[in-house]
Amino acid sequence: MSVAFMAMVLAALVRSVGVTWLPSYWMELITLSGGLWVRAFALYLAQFSKMLVQPRVDGHPG
């Protein structure tokens, strides 16, 4: 999961700091940021999808 967290932090840094420092590359940086964001959530989904679709262990609804 640390790779997913690092990708999310990098996405935020690229989107805010990168565009501020290199405004001429804003489209490339926004695209890179979006790719990092997708990667972070894909890794999260791969890690936790099984838990999210199974019934609860304690048997309670919801």
Q: What is the pLDDT of residues 2-50, one digit of tens each?
A: 999 999 999 999 999 998 999 999 999 999 999 999 999 999 999 999 9
Is 46 in contact with 13 (CB distance < 8 Å)? Answer: no
What is the separation, in whole angstroms, between the first and last Cα of the chain? Answer: 25
Please tell me whether the overall predicted TM-score, pTM, comes out greater than 0.85 for this model.
Answer: no
What is d(CA 9, CA 36) in angstroms, rounded to the nearest whole number?
9
